Structure formats: C-alpha cells, structure tokens
Structure 1
Amino acid sequence: MNEVVELSREELLALSVRFREAVEKILGELSRVPSNLDRFPRGCCGQISWMLGQILNDRFDDRVLYVSANHCEGNGSHGWLRCGNIAIDVTGDQFTDRPAVFVDAPDSWFDQWEIDEPLVGPASYEMGHDLDSDRVYESVCALLNN
C-alpha cells in the first residue's frame, strides 16, 4: 500500500511558485510560443492548471482537483486547482489586484465565481493533444526535477 503524503500549504505554495517561474522561463526562451499559451497568464488558466495539477498529483497521490468556474456576472470563466480546502491559482494576475500565485483558503475574490459541479477527478495533463504545449510541459517538468 502506498504511503499517503501529507500536504502543507507551504509545500504547495513553494511548488506552485517554482512551477510558475519555470513556465515563465520556458515561455520566455521559446522562439514560437504555443498559441494557447501566447498571452500567458491571460486565457491560459485551464492549460496551466492541468499541467500543475498533473505535477502535484504525481507527487501527492491524486488529491489535487481541477476547478472550472464561470463569473457570476457573465464576465468569462476561470480555472484553478483545489487540494482539500486550499485553492491553488497560478494565473491569478490576469485579473486586477490578484497575485500571480495564490495558495491558501479561498478568499472573498472566489465568491464571484460559480463553480461547475461536479468537480472532475484528479487534475491531469494529457499528452498528445497539442505537441507544442507538450514540449512546454516536458521542459517545465525537467526544470522542476533539477
């Protein structure tokens, strides 16, 4: 039986910050950024959250879920991760007055989002749908493993 690794907010924050830094580094080095990531962090919340979710779930036994939500006033959608009562958002700075990386119990900002229920299972990044994004994911993983 696999030992269940306990997650602390500090560990999740540290990994999330390292992930965000790795994404920024890799995207900054590319001569051609994949079209679904070319406005990072804007419009990339789903793709980036799936990537981080996969990395976290590989380390922490599939306990990180992807959250998809629509704005209460119809002002778009957003995606982030959840681990227990902790929200993990690494593209929050696409919104005014939000940090680039948020890892904590949801604050009042999250109240404006209507979460799509039910939440899908553990967050996972599926390789093979977008080869350019797959290369970004692999490069980010390589940086994180160094």
Structure 2
Amino acid sequence: MTLNEAGQLREEAHRLRRALDEALAAGEFADHPVLVSFPSGTCGLISEFVCQYLRDRGLGSWEYVPGERHSPSTGEWQGTHGWARQGQVVIDLTADQFDGEGRPPMWAGESDDWYRSWEEGDSWVPEDVEADGMDRAAYEVMLRYARKA
C-alpha cells in the first residue's frame, strides 16, 4: 500500500465514522434494531457497510473478519467483535465499544496487538448490502451523510 492509499483510507474511514455519528444524533437509526445502539453491538453490520463502501470507491476487495476473545487469565469467553481488513490494514469504525481498553473511536491502520489478541473466525468478502430492506436503507443514510462529511 502506498502512502497516498493509506491517507485516502484514513480519510474515508473518518468520513464514514462522522457520517454514522451524525446520522445517529439526527435520529436516523431510531427504528433500526441494531444501529440504534451504534457503536455498541454494531461491528458486524458496520464492517459489511465499510467493505462495500471501500470496494465501491475503487479501494479493492475487503473482507469481514469476525473474532472472539477469551480471558487469558480465566479462559472465560469475553465477547465477539468484527472489522474490515485488506491484507494487514484494518478499518474498524466501532473500536470505541472497547473504550475501557483505550481504543480510539475508530481504527484505520495496520493491525496491532489488540486485533491480534482476537481469535479470528473464517473471514469472507461480503456481498452487496441487500437491495431492499432495513439494512440497505441504513446504508443509504450513511452514504447521504458521508457526502456531507
């Protein structure tokens, strides 16, 4: 990845995060059963949105990476998370779900030790967001706000 591509990815990630924050504040997701609690519990859907958005902007193919984590000390299951990845580059617009762990609101950069601490499941390249339905409508809202951001 070139320095220019890295800068463009960070810019696009920040644009999307601002768009999602603004849409949430405007009540755009009040009726969506998942996005109403953005960023908590929204990593899967948002990561699929990111994969499509970046692909549609000519920034290559992105995969959705699901992960789960167990406590190193107790072995107890701690939770799941998901993010978009291309090679070693991670875009995660919901990293602040883990703000108690010092995560920034969003991550756009090379995978770090925090991402490597997750046990990855099988990743996949998401299809287009469904042509109709609640998720497609939410994706269109994100795009509308991203054009303003």
The normalised TM-score by structure 2 is 0.82
Q: How much has 1:41 moved relative to structure 2? A: 0.6
**What's 1:100 paired with?**
105
Aligned residue identity for 2:26: E
Percent identity, please: 28
Q: 1:120 aligns with which of 116, 120, 124?
A: 124
How big is the alpha-carbon RMSD for the aligned residues of Structure 1 and Structure 2? 2.2
For structure 1, the 5+ residue unaligned runs are 1-5
Aligned residue identity for 1:133: D
1:39 aligned onto 2:41: no
Q: How much has 1:102 moved relative to structure 2? A: 0.7
Distance change in 2, residues 1:85/1:111 (3 Å) = closer
The normalised TM-score by structure 1 is 0.83
1:61-80 pair list within 5 angstroms: 62-73=60-71, 74-80=77-83
Secondary structure at the counterpart of residue 36 of structure 2: coil
1:1-146 pair list within 5 angstroms: 8-30=5-27, 32-60=30-58, 62-73=60-71, 74-95=77-98, 96=100, 97-117=102-122, 119-121=123-125, 123-128=126-131, 131-146=133-148
Spell out structure 1 runs of 4+ moving beyond 4 A.
none
For structure 2, the 5+ residue unaligned runs are 72-76
8 Å contact kept, 1:69–1:78: yes
8 Å contact kept, 1:16–1:90: yes
8 Å contact kept, 1:26–1:136: no
8 Å contact kept, 2:69–2:78: yes
Q: How much has 1:44 moved relative to structure 2? A: 0.3
